[in-house]
A = this chain, B = another copy of it.
């Protein structure tokens, strides 16, 4: 078991991502229950994992992750995670000796960009890059589980109404989910993503 200690921020502006092509991440959740442990199935760079995460406790949460066959993950996501999938491209950006993860969301979540950092301890000192915006670690709306559950209607995309970040030309993950019509146009063309997920 690992303990995940993480802080999450909005971006005031996008840092230069030209040196970090990014990895496409596709993940879904197989059962939902608030405040319980979540079961996530994730595909990242041709590798697949199943991850159990406990509820957050401050900045920390328990995490148990195991590799599984890629084919199993594709089946589970395709058959059992419809409407609860998150697609994003993760870019790694170094700053002051720490590696930040910039997640550019696609599909139903197009327009959303967040920066995350994993810390070795809750009290670990952290130098914030100048491109960071407000911290949203405690805002449960930004949790990937919560994001996975939105229904995809314009009203459910609260980050657009709040103007948190400009819509972004996000990477497409339809190579995995053509059958789900996910990310047909993962772009600022929201109409095209209405059926994603």
Contact = CB atoms under 8 A, between A and B. Distances in A.
A139 interface: no
A32 B30 contact: no
Given A31-B32, A31-B33, A66-B66, A54 B39 contact: no
A38 to B, nearest CB: 7
Of A31, A39, A68, the most chain B CB neighbours within 10 A belong to: A31
Interface residue range, chain A: 20 to 34
Nearest to A41: B52
Nearest to A39: B39
Interface string A27-54: 0001111001111000000000010101
A20 B64 CA distance: 34
30 contacts: A1-B72, A30-B36, A30-B37, A30-B38, A30-B39, A31-B31, A31-B32, A31-B33, A31-B36, A31-B37, A31-B38, A32-B33, A33-B33, A36-B80, A37-B39, A37-B76, A39-B52, A50-B50, A50-B52, A52-B76, A52-B80, A54-B79, A54-B80, A62-B75, A62-B80, A64-B68, A64-B75, A64-B76, A66-B66, A66-B68
Interface of A: 1, 30-33, 36-39, 50, 52, 54, 62, 64, 66, 68, 71-72, 75-76, 79-80
